[in-house]
Structure 1
Amino acid sequence: MGSVPAGARVYVACVVLAALACLAPVPGLRVPWWIVALLAVLYAGCDHVPPPRGPRSAGSPGGETPQGMGTFLPVLLAGAFLLPPAAAALVALPGALLARVDQRPRAPRRVWRAAQLAVAVWAASRAYGTLGGPDAVATPRFPYALVPAGAAVLTFCAVLAVLDGGILALAERAPLRTAWRGLFARSLAPVAAHGLAGLMMAVLWRSPYGPVAALLVLLPMYVSCWVFAQYHRERAAHQATIRALVQAVDIKDGYTRGHSERVGQASMMIARELGMDDDRVEGLRFAGILHDVGKLGVPTRLLRKDGPLTPEERRIIELHPEYGHEMVRGIAFLGEARSAILHHHERLDGSGYPYGLTGAQIPEFARVVAVADAFDAMTSTRSYRRARPVPTALEELERCAGTQFDPGMVAALVRSLGRHGWHPAVTADDGPPVLPDGRTSAPHASDALGRGAP
C-alpha cells in the first residue's frame, strides 16, 4: 500500500473495522446460510458482466470500476430484504474480494470495496427491518412494502456516497468542497431501479413460486447490463479511434503536442456554460481534440518550419480543415464535430477559411472550437513567442469578439474560467499549465491557427 496516502490507509482501515463489526453474528439469531451462499455465488458470478468504465466511478478510487461492482446490485439488495443485516453484509464479500481490478494497488482496492459494500448492505438491511419490511413482504402488503424498500435504497445510496466522498478526498486529494458533490444524486436513480428488482426477487422468493422464480428476475437485468456493456465497449472503440488520430498528429507536428487535448477541454467548458446536453458536450470534446487532424495531409517541413510562412506555404497549410473533414467524413459517431473540423478557422466577418462563411453561417460547434483553439494558442508557448497570461488572452478574445469570434462563445469561456480556472490536462512531454492568476507555464508548443493566431 506504499502508493496509497497515509490518511487514506487509516480511512480504509476504519471502514474495514466497521465492516467487521457489521459482520458480527447476533447470538440466538437463526441464519438461512443456504440463501447467503446462493446469493453470494450469484453476486460473485456477476463479475463476468463488464460494467461501464469512466472517471471516478463510485466506490473505486482512481477512476475505474472493478468488474462486477454495482452491475448486479439487485442481488445485494435482495439479500438486504431477505436476510438479517449481518448475513446480508456477507453476500457482497466473495464478489468484491475476487473481482478483477486493473489499477494498482489491487489488494487495497478489493478490500476497500468489500468493506464499503458490507457496511452499505448492512445499513440498508437495518433500515428495511426497522420499518417492518420483512413482514410487509411476507404478507404481502403493497404498496406499503415499497416504503421500507425505498428507505433501504436511500440508506444504501447515502452510505456509499459518504464513504466514496471520503476516499476521493483522501486517496485522490479531491477538494473537500467537491469530493461529495453529486455522488448521492447520480447513484440514486440506478440504485432505485436495482432496488425494485431486488424487492421483486424477495417477494417471489417468499411466495409459493420460490427461489427459482425469484432468480428469473435476474435474466432481464443480465440482458440489459450486457447491452449497456456493449454500448460502452463501442464508446471505448470510438475513444481509441480518436486517440490514434491525435497521436498521429502529435508525431507529425511535435509543436502541437497536448494542444488538441486542451482545445477539447476548453470546448467542453464553453459547451457546459452554454447549457448544452451531455451528447453535444461530448461531441464538442471530440471536435476540439480532432480539429487539427487535417495536418496529417500537410507536408511535415511546413508544420515544423521555424521562420515565417510564405503566401504559398500559408495556402497549403490552410487546406488542413478540408483534409481533416475528408479524413473523418465516414466516422458517423462524430456527428456535428465534423462541421467544426471543417469550419473552425472561419471568422464572423467572412475573412476566415476555407469558405469565408459569415456570422450564423458558421456552425455552432465551429464557433466554439475557434474560441477554444485561439485561447490555447495564446496561452501556450509557440516557436516564435512566449505564452500569454490567461487574463491577457481573454482580453484579446474579447477585443476580437464580433469580428473574428462569436461574442457568446467568448463570454461563455470567460464565465467558465472565472468559476473553474484553467487547469488543462497535459501530456508527459508538456510542462506545467498556465495558471489562472496569469503566471505563465514552462514552454509549450502549438500551432493553432496556421501561424495566424491573434
Structure 2
Amino acid sequence: MGPVRPWARVYVGCTVLAALVCAAPVPGAPACWWALALLAALHAGCEQIPRGRAVGDRAPEDMGTFFPVLLAAAFLLPPPAAALVPLPGALLVRVAERPSWLRRAWRAAQLSLAVWAASRVHGALGGRDAVVGPRFPYALLTAGAAVVAFCLVLTALDAGILALAERVPARGRGPLPERTREVGAAWRGLFLRSLAPVAVQGLAGLMMAVLWRSPYGPAAALLVLLPMYVSCWVFAQYHRERAAHQATIRALVQAVDIKDGYTRGHSERVGEASVMIARELGMDAERIEVLRFAGILHDVGKLGVPTRLLRKDGPLTPEERRIIELHPEYGHEMVRGIGFLGEARSAILHHHERLDGSGYPYGLVGAQIPEFARVVAVADAFDAMTSTRSYRRARPVEAALTELERCAGAQFDPAMVHALARALARHGWHPVVTADEARGNVPPRAAPRPGEPAGPRRGGGGA
C-alpha cells in the first residue's frame, strides 16, 4: 500500500465493516472459544517472531503472513469464529509505514475476510466432516477449494487497494476497455503468484487440522508448525539474499551508465544475449544466472577510467588507448570480493581476449580463455553491432551474425557464435532501445567515437 489517498481510506473502512459483519457470532452456533483462542494465540506468536528483512525494490520486507494457522482455522472452525483468528496477530504486528493504525486495520480486515471465505467454502463442501477420519482424497479437494477462495479474496482486495492507493489503473491513458484489461491482467498476476505458495501452506494447515481432530489432539497439530516455519524462513532468506545481489548489480550498472551514457542499456542487452547463448549450450539455471551477471557487469571497470577519455571527441593517443584497455582489470578488482559472482569475475577480466592471442589484457589463446568470457565476448560484439551508435546506425541481425561467423576461430569461439545464431533463429532479438535511438541522435556520416570500434575487431563492445 502506497501513500493513503482519501478513496483508499474509504475502501479500507468498507473492508473493515465487511470483516466485522462476517465475524459477528451466529446465534445458536456451537461455542469453540478455546480452539479459537489457541489458534489466534499461535498465529499472533508466529507473526511476532522476526524473520529478517529483504533488500530491493521487489522483495517483501519480511517472510509475510504465516498462513498455515489461518488455513487450519478455516478447516476447523465455523466461518465467524475463523474470521476472528487473524485479528490479534494482524493488529499487534509491527508496521514501519504510517499511518500504522490504518495499515494494521487493513491487514486484519483483509485476512479476516479471506479466512471467512475459505471456511465458508470448506464447510459448504463438507470439508469439516472430511477432516475427521480423515477421508482422502475428498479432504484434499475441499481444502484445495478453500485455498482458492482464500487466494481470490486476498488478491481481489489487494488489487483494489493498489488501484486506489497507488493509482495503478491511472497509468493507462487509453480507452476504458484497455485500462480494464490492464487492471485485469495485474489482478491475474497477483492471483497466480500467490496461489502456489498459499497452496503449500494450505497443505500444512490441513495436516494441522487432521492431527487436531485425531486422538492425539492439538498438541500433535503443533508439531506441524516448526518444520513449516523453518522452511518458510529459509525461503525468505533466499529471497533476501537474491534481492541483495540484484541491488548490488543494479547499483554498479547505474554507476557505469551515468559515467558512460553513450552505451546506456548496453550492459543489460549483453546480459540478455549471454543468457540466450548459455541456454543453447545447456548450462544449468545457476550458471545461467551467474553468466547474466557477467554480461551485465562486463564493463564495470569503466568506472576506473577517466571520464574525459570515455567522452573524448578527438582520436585517442596510444597512451590513452592503453589506459582504456585497463578497464577489464579495473573491473576484476572492483568485483573481486563479491562472492556470489563466481565465474562472472573471470568473464569481466577476460571478455576482450581473442582466440588467436591478440586480445587483452593477457593475450590468452583458445581454451585458456574462460568459457564465460568467450560467451560474453560474442554477446558484447553482437550488441555493439546491432545497436545504434553516434557514428553509425545499427546493423541488421543477419549482418551482425555474418560478421561474427567471419571472425569465428580467430576472435570468437565458433561454438558460442553458432549457439547465438540458433537462439536468435528460435526466439528473435528484441533488445531495449538505445539512448541514441530514443533521441534520434544518429548523424548519417559521423566519425567513430574514440575508443569504440566500428566492428568487432577489438572485442566488439568497445574498449
Paired residue for 1:363? 371
Structure 1's 360 and 23: CA in aligned 2 closer, same or farther, altered over 3 A?
Answer: farther
Matched residue SS, 2:26 = coil
Q: Which range is displaced more, 253-262 or 306-315?
A: 253-262
* Corresponding residue of 1:36: 36
Q: Could you list the per-position Cα deviations for residues 29-72 of structure 1 after superposition, in whole angstroms to 9, with x for gaps in the alignment?
A: 234233323322322322324267487xxxxxx845354523x2
- Per the alignment, residue 259 of structure 2 pairs with 255
Give the equivalent residue in structure 1 for 2:121.
Answer: 127
Q: CA deviation at 1:368?
A: 5.0
Q: Which has the larger radius of gyration?
A: 2
Q: 1:147 to 1:8 in 2, by over 3 A?
A: same
Q: What secondary structure does 1:180 align onto? A: helix
1:155 and 2:165 aligned: no
Structure 1 residue 232, shift from structure 2 partner: 4.0
Structure 1 range deviating more: 182-191 or 406-415:
406-415
Contact 1:349 1:403 in 2 (8 A): no
Matched, 1:75 2:69: yes
Counterpart residue number, 1:452:
453
The match for 1:86 is: 80
User: Tell me, which stretches of 5 or more residues in structure 1 are unaligned?
Assistant: 56-61, 424-432
Q: 2:412 aligned with 1:402, yes or no? A: no
Stretch of structure 1 that moved more, 362-371 or 285-294: 362-371
Q: Deviations over 1:125-184 (max 9, x none)?
A: 112111212112233334432222222223223333444455555634484364135444
User: 2:277 touches 2:423 (CA, 8 Å); kept in 1?
Assistant: yes
CA distance in 1, matches of 2:262, 2:119: 49
CA–CA distance in structure 2, aligned partners of residues 273 and 115 of structure 1: 49
Contact between 1:157 and 1:191, CA under 8 Å: does it hold in 2?
Answer: yes
Alignment check: 8 A CA contact 2:63 2:232 kept:
no
Stretches of structure 2 lacking an aligned partner (at least 5 in a row): 172-181, 443-447, 456-463
Say whether the 8 Å CA contact 2:271–2:293 is kept in structure 1: no
Change (3 A) 1:304 1:262: closer
C-alpha distance after superposition, 1:288-334 (max 9, x if no partner):
44222333554566446454321232123112213323543454421
Q: Alpha-carbon deviation of 1:214?
A: 1.6
Number of aligned residue pairs:
424
Give the Cα–Cα distance (whole angstroms) in 2 for the partners of residues 265 and 19 of structure 1: 48
**1:237 and 1:320 mapped to 2: Cα distance?**
25
* 1:174-214 deviation digits (Å, cap 9, x = unpaired): 84364135444433332222112111211222233222222
Mapping for residues 290-439 of structure 1, pairs under 5 Å: 290-298=297-305, 302-303=309-310, 305-329=312-336, 331-345=338-352, 353-354=360-361, 355=363, 363=371, 367-368=375-376, 371=379, 375=383, 385=390, 397=400, 400-403=403-406, 406=417, 409=420, 422=432, 434=435, 439=438
Conserved? CA contact 1:45–1:95, under 8 Å: yes
What is the Cα deviation at residue 286 of structure 1? 2.3
1:210 paired to 2:217? yes
Secondary structure, aligned partner of 1:199:
helix
For the residues of structure 1 that align with 2:229 and 2:83, how far apart are their CA atoms? 22
- Post-superposition Cα deviations, 1:67-90, rounded to whole Å, max 9, x if no partner, equal 4523x2111111111111122122
Where 2:235 maps in the other structure, the secondary structure is helix
How far, CA to CA, are the matches of 1:378 and 1:103 in structure 2? 45
Q: Deviations over 1:409-441 (max 9, x none)?
A: 48868997977x738xxxxxxxxx859xx5428
Give the CA deviation at 1:343.
3.7
Say if 2:33 is the partner of 1:27: no
Distance 1:8 1:272, change over 3 A: farther
For 1:176 and 1:418, the matched residues in 2 are separated by 29
Residue 45 (structure 1) aligns with: 45
What secondary structure sits across from 2:64 in the alignment? Answer: coil
Given that residues 348 and 403 in structure 1 are in contact (C-alpha distance below 8 angstroms), is that contact kept between their aligned partners in structure 2? no
Q: TM-score, normalised by structure 2?
A: 0.71
CA root-mean-square deviation: 4.6
* Alpha-carbon distance in 1 for matches of 2:219, 2:198: 23
Query: Among the aligned pairs, what percent are the same residue?
Result: 59
Q: Structure 1 residue aligned with 2:200, among 179, 190, 193?
A: 193
Q: Which amino acid aligns with 1:263?
A: S
* TM-score normalised by length of structure 1: 0.72
1:230 to 1:312, Cα distance in 2 relative to 1, 3 A: same
How much has 1:284 moved relative to structure 2? 3.9
Q: Is the 8 A contact 2:294 2:344 kept in 1?
A: yes
Q: Report if the CA contact (8 A) 1:40-1:92 is conserved.
A: yes
Report how far residue 103 of structure 1 moved.
5.5
Structure 2 equivalent of residue 440 of structure 1? 439
